Amino acid sequence: MRLRHLIAGLALSGIALLAPAHEYRLGQIAIGHPYARSTAPGQPTGGAYLRLENRGAPDRLVAVRATVCRTVELHTSQMDGDVMRMREVDAIDLPANKAVTLQPGGTHIMLVGLKAALKDGDSFPLTLKFEKAGEVTVEVKVQGPDR
């Protein structure tokens, strides 16, 4: 009886752990846990982050659209001496059978000209356009900086 309760408890814990991690799929590309950090009122920019796992032939993320901002840019961040520098890129390469993580301080999606603050607990649609796989719209969940 105790073993059955333990197994049931572990199963429910696993479900709870999996629930926050939302995933989407477009052909051979898996898009994992799209999220954005909350922003202060009046802050003009924000960032969106996710994990792209390409289980097929090479592809590229070539464009992103969102209704929460004026424009969306693909960015990389690199250290230049003691200074972190961001620069816009035309595309993000997705090598065959590799994963690329878009994250704070690295490659990311820049939301420029936010129409309103991004608030913890909110969500918004983000459309990703891939060179070969096509387009998919994912739900980006906004989370506070401490999550």
Domain of residue 71: give its range: 23-143
Confidence label for 89 from pLDDT (cuts 50, 70 and 90): very high
15: its two tokens: 């479900």
Of 5-14, 44-53, 81-90, the poorest mean pLDDT is in 5-14
What pLDDT is recorded for position 22? 86
What pLDDT is recorded for position 93? 97
List 85's β-bridge partners, or say none: 78
52 part of a folded domain: yes
Spatial distance between the Cα atoms of 31 and 26, rounded to a whole number of angstroms:
8
Q: Which whole number is the average pLDDT over 90-114?
A: 96
Q: Beta 45-54 vs 59-66: how paired, if at all?
A: unpaired
72 part of a folded domain: yes
Spatial distance between the Cα atoms of 20 and 8, rounded to a whole number of angstroms:
20
6 part of a folded domain: no
User: What residues contact residue 84 under an 8 Å CB cut-off, 6+ apart?
Assistant: 77, 78, 105
79: its two tokens: 């250290």
Residue 18 has pLDDT above 50, yes or no: no
37 part of a folded domain: yes
11 part of a folded domain: no
CATH of the domain at 101: 2.60.40.1890
15 part of a folded domain: no
69 part of a folded domain: yes
Q: Could you tell me which of 50, 55, 63, 57 has the C-alpha nearest to residue 29? A: 55
Please give the angle made by the CA atoms of 84, 85 and 86, to the nearest 5 degrees.
125
Per-residue pLDDT tens digits for 107-136: 999 999 999 999 999 999 999 999 999 999
Q: How many domains does the chain fold into?
A: 1
17 part of a folded domain: no
DSSP state of 121: T
Per-residue pLDDT tens digits for 20-77: 458 999 999 999 999 999 999 999 999 999 999 999 999 999 999 999 999 999 999 8
